């Protein structure tokens, strides 16, 4: 094992949107940061980011591989509801390129990048910690390295080793396992089946017994995927069938990826000492939609703020402010989405009703307003009341699909 006697302010474990954002913000604030990430890691992801993410995190236009102007909701009976975005768009990114751009931005602002596999943290008597990781040497052999640091941000994904080693309860969070295939986009339109400016969402028990399937354009490529908690459900077979339905069965497959997606935020994000979680490691993926990029970016920023305050004051209570701020801004939305997923995704009859509700212009307008701006729309109380009673009618069977 080799080590360095130099002490860093922060080691960020994981270079996805959360970790790269935390490293970038801390480096810009003058902190001495190491960003540690595994080689070749690409997370399966639909790749959608709302305008607020583009605005708040200064995402340049060239990183958007497509701009989506509508969504199509498809029911078990093949009933299709189009939801246009009036005067706006949803940006799409390719995670292989997007995550690397975020990491390089952090490096350009002063973060030190290292490539390796995180192993463990060893706390020291002087209040610092040693972060151990393995890197591959020039001869191909692995070498264990260590970094001395005052604080650690664990942003190493849904099955975070940092979380499981340091934060109680981190191993109890349920997961949806997601799988997608990146394929070559058709060079000619596929009739009404595929539109390069539209996201298609399939709500069918055959596609997923408890989640949904997606066909998301990425410019020159397309992400086709699904997810489920059911261990016996074949995600690969589901995606194979979905490709055929979407008219993409014969196009070239570029890569295949799978990964777990946490279903709700952890009850605690820090260890009460000097470790704080962010992104999927903290469980910040929206229920029902599975959206995670915006929440990872935000979680990384809040983690950076909390760690910066901790380094400045030495008060470990500062670490808990990341979760408090996140849940204050998003807790209600996550709760509502969790109820929606539990009810509407439980069987095909309810999925049929859910897609039918999406016909409603009030539902469409408030859905896009909330998604694009990442907050509940409180300025239209009458619309909310109408939607409540329409939902109630469907849930009680008073309205037909």
- Cα 297 from Cα 18, distance rounded (Å): 5
pLDDT of residue 363: 79
Q: Is the pLDDT of residue 397 over 50?
A: no
- Cα 174 from Cα 266, distance rounded (Å): 10
Q: Is the pLDDT of residue 381 over 50?
A: no
Question: In which band, very low, low, confident or very high, does the pLDDT at 388 lie, cut at 50, 70 and 90?
Answer: very low
- Average pLDDT of the chain is 88
Q: Average pLDDT for residues 179-193, to the nearest whole number?
A: 81
Using one digit for the tens of pLDDT, what is the confidence trace for 86-124?
A: 888 999 998 889 999 999 999 999 999 999 999 999 999
Which helix (H) or strand (E) element contains residue 74? strand 70-74
Contact between residue 223 and residue 45 where contact means Cβ atoms under 8 Å apart:
yes
pLDDT of residue 375: 66
Q: Is the pLDDT of residue 364 over 90?
A: no
Contact between residue 47 and residue 216 where contact means Cβ atoms under 8 Å apart:
yes
pLDDT of residue 191: 62
Structural domains for the chain: 8-44+95-172+263-333 (3.50.50.60), 74-93+174-262 (3.30.9.10), 360-396 (no CATH)
- In terms of Cα–Cα distance, which of 389, 392, 397, 394 is closest to 354? 394
Determine what percent of the chain is predicted with pLDDT higher than 70: 91
- Cα 401 from Cα 388, distance rounded (Å): 16
pLDDT of residue 164: 95
pLDDT of residue 202: 95
Question: What are the structure tokens assigned to 243, written together?
Answer: 């490709």
Using one digit for the tens of pLDDT, what is the confidence trace for 262-318?
A: 888 999 999 999 999 999 999 998 888 888 899 999 999 999 999 999 999 999 999
Q: Is the pLDDT of residue 239 over 80?
A: yes
Using one digit for the tens of pLDDT, what is the confidence trace for 27-73?
A: 999 999 999 999 877 777 778 999 999 999 999 999 999 999 999 99
Q: What is the pTM of this model?
A: 0.90
Q: Average pLDDT for residues 5-18, to the nearest whole number?
A: 94
Query: Residue 314 region, left (φ>0) first, then alpha (ψ -120 to 50), else beta?
Result: left
Query: Which is higher by pLDDT, 275 or 353?
Result: 275
- Cα 364 from Cα 110, distance rounded (Å): 43
């Amino acid at each position: 094992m080799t080590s360095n006697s130099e002490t860093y302010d922060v080691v960020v474990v994981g270079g996805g949107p959360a970790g790269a954002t935390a490293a970038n913000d801390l480096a810009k604030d003058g902190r001495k940061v190491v960003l540690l990430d595994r080689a070749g890691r690409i997370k399966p992801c639909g790749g959608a980011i709302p305008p607020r993410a583009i605005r708040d995190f200064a995402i340049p236009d060239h990183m958007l591989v497509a701009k989506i102007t509508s969504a199509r909701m498809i029911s078990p009976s093949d009933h299709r509801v189009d939801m246009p975005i009036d005067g706006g768009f949803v940006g799409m990114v390719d995670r292989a390129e997007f995550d690397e751009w975020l990491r390089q931005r952090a490096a350009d602002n002063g973060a030190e990048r290292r490539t390796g596999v995180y192993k463990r943290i060893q706390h020291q008597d002087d209040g610092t910690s040693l972060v151990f990781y393995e890197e591959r040497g020039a001869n191909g052999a692995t070498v264990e390295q260590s970094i001395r640091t005052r604080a650690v941000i664990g942003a190493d994904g849904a099955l975070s080793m940092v979380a499981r080693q340091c934060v109680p309860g981190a191993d109890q969070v349920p997961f949806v396992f997601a799988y997608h295939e990146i394929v070559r986009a058709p060079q000619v339109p596929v009739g009404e089946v595929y539109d390069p400016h539209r996201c298609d969402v399939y709500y069918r028990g055959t596609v997923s017994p408890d989640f949904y399937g997606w066909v998301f354009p990425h410019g020159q490529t397309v992400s086709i995927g699904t997810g489920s908690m059911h261990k016996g459900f074949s995600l690969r077979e589901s995606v194979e069938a979905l490709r055929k339905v979407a008219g993409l069965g014969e196009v070239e497959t570029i890569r295949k990826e799978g990964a777990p997606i946490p279903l709700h935020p952890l009850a605690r994000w820090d260890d009460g000492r000097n470790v704080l979680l962010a992104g999927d490691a903290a469980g910040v993926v929206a229920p029902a939609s599975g959206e995670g990029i915006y929440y990872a970016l935000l979680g990384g920023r809040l983690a950076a703020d909390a760690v910066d305050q901790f380094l400045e004051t030495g008060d470990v209570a500062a670490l808990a402010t990341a979760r408090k701020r996140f849940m204050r801004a998003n807790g209600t939305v996550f709760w509502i989405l969790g109820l929606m997923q539990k009810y509407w995704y439980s069987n095909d009859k309810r999925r049929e009703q859910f897609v039918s509700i999406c016909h409603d212009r009030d539902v469409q307008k408030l859905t896009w307003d909330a998604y694009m701006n990442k907050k509940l729309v409180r300025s239209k109380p009458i619309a909310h009341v109408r939607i409540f009673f329409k939902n109630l009618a469907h849930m009680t069977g008073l309205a037909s699909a």
